[in-house]
Amino acid sequence: MRTWLSFIPEPFLTVVLALIVGGVVLNFVAVSALFFIWLERKVAGRMQDRLGPTRVGGKYGWLQTIADGIKLLLKEDFMPTAADGILFRIAPYIAFSASFVSFIALPFGADLVGQELQVAVYFILAVLASEVFGVILAGYASASKWSLFGGIREAAQVVSYEVPRGICVLIPVLISGTLNLNTIGKQQEGYVFDWLIFHDPFTFCAFWIFFICATAGCKRAPFDLAEAESELVAGFHTEYSGLRWSFFFMAEYASMFAVSGIATLLFLGGWHTGFLPFEPSVQFGLAGHLLNLIVFVLKGWCLVFLMMWMRWSLPRLRIDQVMMTCLKYFLPISCGLFLGVCLWQLLAPAALSQSWKFFALAVVLASAGVIIYKLLTAPKIAARGRLMGAWESLPTPLTKNL
């Protein structure tokens, strides 16, 4: 790129390159948010035996999110009379900026990163944590006790879950010996069993703890106490409408993909397919970079889908249960996993490590096979008077007398 931009003086060239990278990242975040909103409606419809969007944009409602965006742009932007005008207006942009900036250091492929940092893991987690400031300001500036309660809950929840999440991040960092996400991704080059999630049993468990804590950090159900509709009338963004309201949800969906990208890089092989014993970008050039990009994005989208699946499958927890789950269970478990991986690195023989990799991979493949079989063989429509899923064999009011 510097070849055709070489006529631009160096200070201006840096600005131009930064604008190009920022524009690409911003467009990716916006398009991903559009897709995630549509996908979540479809997932929610499937979980609740509905169809979801079916009218706007064809049979599958492809343009429903765009129609919602136009509606939000046209809605009147209200602000409570007693609200702090400056803080109320900037809070959504602070929340979105925190999620957006994290993508600058997130590698989408080998050397395919906006700005490679030697402390990329620390940078992304620190920036994502600053999203809570926008939430607190939104609750404080709204001049509503319900919004304030939502903001304080969010602060308590996010700060608490950052601790076990950070400890779980230390586990793959300890194995890799670096905080550079680009380097960590390159170290997982090869087949599936070269991914860090299969390195040892402690790292395998750490992935799930990290993913659950990351879900809680994104304010996703069953941890969405900051916006519990039944208790706080939508929580910290109760007084928001129109475009500013949409920025909070763009920040949420952006954070979902950001933490999914971190999980992909730290545990799931990054941009590697798991079937090629070499780096695609080295062997195939531009086509290899495109393959890396597609694989990384698909892995991130799969983890985002898993978050949606959890939201529409599990009931919401109470605030005391949310905090107890973190402090009483996740925190000591993560500390134990960190200690365990340290001992594994020092004491575990190579034969045991190889045996564990193949055993863990076999268990994952068998579990995936069972899930796919259940999905393909499950009836699409329940028999009359019967329920589906876990309630299939239970009597209903329509079948008690049959």
Cα 169 to the center of its chain, rounded Å: 15
Confidence of residue 262 (pLDDT cuts 50, 70, 90): very high
Alpha-carbon distance of 372 to 367, in angstroms, equals 9
User: Model-level pTM?
Assistant: 0.89
Q: Measuring CA to CA, which residue among 293, 294, 300, 295 is closest to residue 112?
A: 293
For 332-341, what is each residue's pLDDT tens digit? 999 999 999 9
**Tokens encoding 287:** 């086509």
Residue 187: the pLDDT is 93
Structural contact between residues 45 and 211, judged by C-beta atoms closer than 8 angstroms: no
Q: The dihedral of CA 114, 115, 118, 120: what is its sign?
A: negative
Alpha-carbon distance of 298 to 307, in angstroms, equals 14
Q: Who contacts 291 (Cβ-Cβ below 8 Å, separation ≥6)?
A: 273, 280, 284
For 155-211, what is each residue's pLDDT tens digit? 888 889 999 999 999 999 999 999 999 999 999 998 998 999 999 999 999 999 999
Which of 46-60, 137-151, 235-249, 384-398 comes out lowest in average pLDDT?
Answer: 384-398
Confidence of residue 55 (pLDDT cuts 50, 70, 90): confident
